[in-house]
Amino acid sequence: NLCAAAAPNLSYQELKDLKKANVLHIDVRERWEIDRFGKIPESINIPLGELMEALQMDPMEFKEQYNQKMPSKSDPVVFSCLAGTRSKQALGFAMSLGFS
Residues 29-67: pLDDT tens digits? 999 999 999 998 889 999 999 999 999 999 999 999 999
* Mean pLDDT for the stretch of residues 6-19: 69
Share of residues in the chain with pLDDT > 70 (%): 90
Q: Give yes or no for a contact between 45 and 63, defined as CB atoms under 8 angstroms apart.
A: no
pLDDT at 24: 87
- What pTM value is reported for the model? 0.84
What CATH number matches the domain at 12-97, 3.40.50.300, 3.30.590.10, 3.40.250.10, 1.50.10.20? 3.40.250.10
Give pLDDT, residue 40.
86
Positions marked active-site: 81
| pLDDT at res. 7 | 53
- Alpha helix ranges (H) inside the chain: 12-19, 31-37, 48-54, 59-66, 85-96
Q: What's the mean pLDDT when you consider all of the chain?
A: 87
